[in-house]
């Protein structure tokens, strides 16, 4: 019996039929004889051309970026809605949002900038979308797939830090302003939000054309950008958008309260928007009495720290208003009520409570 060397196959006892390796002009060949140098050089040249072509392709191919995208997947939306009642975390895993690799955004034209995300917040509307609770009313005002994220602090190509005003208004879409110095959300006709050149989208974070803050980069228009002061941290800057929304709601109450001796404002909800609205009321309307319906103990404590006078559970807010105003209950409604009401929840139940 012939011993087989370790980790090797037995040698062929004859070997005549095995092709022999040969070297010619630096190329490794195989066969019974030697090839001419011209054949070897042609092989090497073809390999070099192929490698050069591949390198050029890799050099010109854009580097993909990470993004969280929401797709129009009705079944997953419905399943997420059912599961969210038991576990919001599980709803996010099976919902319509996915981590994907996509091409970086291309410039949308004059006045548009590529913004590199530094920090992006999570709005209640984002959570509603992920958990399948978003209203179908807005289906015609968004374009799929979209990248969420409209509470954003980012960086321009020159290193300037910016926050964005997310509404894709007239200027961003190439339409004339409804009046001089109009803000992106001003005007009475909002058809431009669904018209070209951009795809439909109320704002950044719901428009496929622009992308959003839940990605490495996105597009923003000059009319949306606000520079961040050097002494403001990213963590503070990312709060500018929700704080602006809360303060805006407080300022909208002002005309109603002019001339009222002891104004009362009821605030439904003490999440980020509700707390910012409370702070805005206390800052700009000092003599107002603020009644708040807050669900969780930590929200109740924060509402008091922001300037609320009376904080109760959401189901007790109507009764608290009745006590302060001194009105009566007629059916499900009060005969009187607060001078102004801010809905910082935004669902059918909170709207009904505002009307009551």
Please tell me the predicted confidence (pLDDT) of residue 285: 93
pLDDT classification of 248: cutoffs 50, 70, 90: very high
Helix, strand, coil tally for the chain in percent (to 5): 35, 20, 45
CATH top-level class for 65-238?
alpha beta
Structure tokens at 39: 């054949």
Give the residue-averaged pLDDT of 89-100.
86
pLDDT digits (tens, 9 = 90+) for 283-329: 999 899 999 999 999 999 999 999 999 999 999 999 999 999 998 88
pLDDT tops 70 at residue 342: yes
In 3-state terms, what secondary structure has residue 248?
helix
Please tell me the predicted confidence (pLDDT) of residue 220: 98
DSSP-derived secondary structure for 169-214: -TTTTTPPPSSTT--TT-SS--GGGG-TTSPS-SBTTS-TTT--SS
Structure tokens at 323: 């006590």
Please tell me the predicted confidence (pLDDT) of residue 92: 79
Write down the residue that tokens 């580097």 correspond to. 63
1-15, 138-152, 202-216, 235-249 — which is least confidently predicted? 1-15
Please tell me the predicted confidence (pLDDT) of residue 87: 81
Please tell me the predicted confidence (pLDDT) of residue 276: 96
CA separation (Å) from 9 to 14, 165, 249, 304? 14, 72, 82, 83
Please tell me the predicted confidence (pLDDT) of residue 61: 65
Please tell me the predicted confidence (pLDDT) of residue 39: 60
Query: For residues 81 and 334, which has the higher predicted lDDT (pLDDT)?
Result: 334
In 3-state terms, what secondary structure has residue 32?
coil
pLDDT classification of 165: cutoffs 50, 70, 90: very high
Please tell me the predicted confidence (pLDDT) of residue 251: 95
Please tell me the predicted confidence (pLDDT) of residue 81: 80
Q: What is the pTM of this model?
A: 0.76
Query: For residues 89 and 202, which has the higher predicted lDDT (pLDDT)?
Result: 202
The percent of residues above 70 in pLDDT, for the chain, comes to 85
Give the residue-averaged pLDDT of 247-276.
94
In 3-state terms, what secondary structure has residue 23?
strand
66-70, 131-135, 232-236, 338-342 — which is least confidently predicted? 131-135
DSSP designation for 354: H
Question: How far apart, in whole angstroms, are the C-alpha atoms of residue 13 and residue 24?
Answer: 28
Please tell me the predicted confidence (pLDDT) of residue 14: 47
Contact 303, 273 (CB under 8 A): no
Give the residue-averaged pLDDT of 174-199.
89
pLDDT digits (tens, 9 = 90+) for 44-75: 677 777 777 766 766 666 689 999 999 988 78
Query: Mean pLDDT, the chain, as a whole number?
Result: 86
- Domain range annotation of the chain: 20-60, 65-238, 243-355
DSSP designation for 215: B
Question: How far apart, in whole angstroms, are the C-alpha atoms of residue 95 and residue 76?
Answer: 5
Please tell me the predicted confidence (pLDDT) of residue 288: 96
Please tell me the predicted confidence (pLDDT) of residue 138: 76
Please tell me the predicted confidence (pLDDT) of residue 75: 81
pLDDT digits (tens, 9 = 90+) for 6-57: 545 555 444 445 555 444 444 444 445 455 566 666 766 777 777 777 667 6
Options 3.90.226.10, 3.40.50.720, 3.40.50.620, 3.40.50.1100; which CATH number does 243-355 get? Answer: 3.40.50.720
In 3-state terms, what secondary structure has residue 330?
strand
38-52, 120-134, 336-350 — which is least confidently predicted? 38-52
């Amino acid at each position: 019996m012939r011993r087989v060397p370790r980790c090797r196959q037995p040698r062929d006892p004859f070997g005549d039929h095995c092709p022999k390796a040969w070297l010619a002009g630096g190329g490794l060949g195989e066969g019974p004889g030697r090839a001419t140098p011209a054949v070897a050089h042609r092989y090497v040249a073809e390999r070099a051309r192929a490698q050069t072509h591949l390198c050029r392709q890799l050099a010109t191919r854009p580097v993909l970026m990470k993004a969280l995208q929401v797709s129009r997947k009705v079944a997953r939306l419905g399943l997420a809605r059912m599961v969210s009642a038991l576990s919001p975390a599980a709803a996010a895993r099976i919902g319509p949002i996915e981590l994907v690799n996509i091409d970086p955004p291309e410039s949308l034209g004059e006045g548009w900038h590529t913004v590199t995300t530094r920090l992006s917040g999570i709005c209640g509307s984002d959570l509603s979308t992920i958990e399948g609770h978003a209203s179908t009313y807005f289906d015609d005002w968004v374009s799929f797939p979209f990248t969420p994220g409209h509470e954003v602090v980012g960086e321009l190509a020159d290193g300037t830090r910016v926050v964005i005003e997310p509404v894709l208004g007239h200027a961003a879409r190439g339409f004339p302003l409804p009046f001089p110095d109009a803000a992106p959300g001003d005007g009475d006709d909002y058809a431009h939000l669904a018209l070209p050149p951009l795809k439909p989208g109320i704002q950044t974070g719901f428009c496929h054309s622009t992308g959003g803050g839940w990605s490495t980069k996105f597009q923003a228009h000059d009319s949306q950008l606000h520079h961040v002061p050097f002494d403001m941290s990213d963590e503070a800057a990312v709060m500018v958008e929700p704080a602006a929304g809360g303060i805006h709601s407080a300022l909208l109450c002002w005309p109603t309260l002019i001339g009222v001796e002891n104004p009362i404002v009821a605030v439904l909800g003490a999440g980020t928007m509700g707390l910012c609205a409370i702070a805005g009321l206390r800052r700009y309307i000092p003599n107002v009495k603020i009644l708040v319906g807050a669900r969780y103990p930590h929200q109740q404590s924060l509402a008091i720290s922001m300037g609320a006078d009376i904080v109760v559970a959401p189901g007790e807010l109507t009764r608290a208003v009745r006590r302060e105003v001194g009105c009566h209950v007629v059916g499900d409604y009060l005969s009187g009520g607060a001078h102004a009401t801010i809905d910082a929840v935004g669902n059918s139940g909170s709207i009904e409570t505002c009307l009551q």
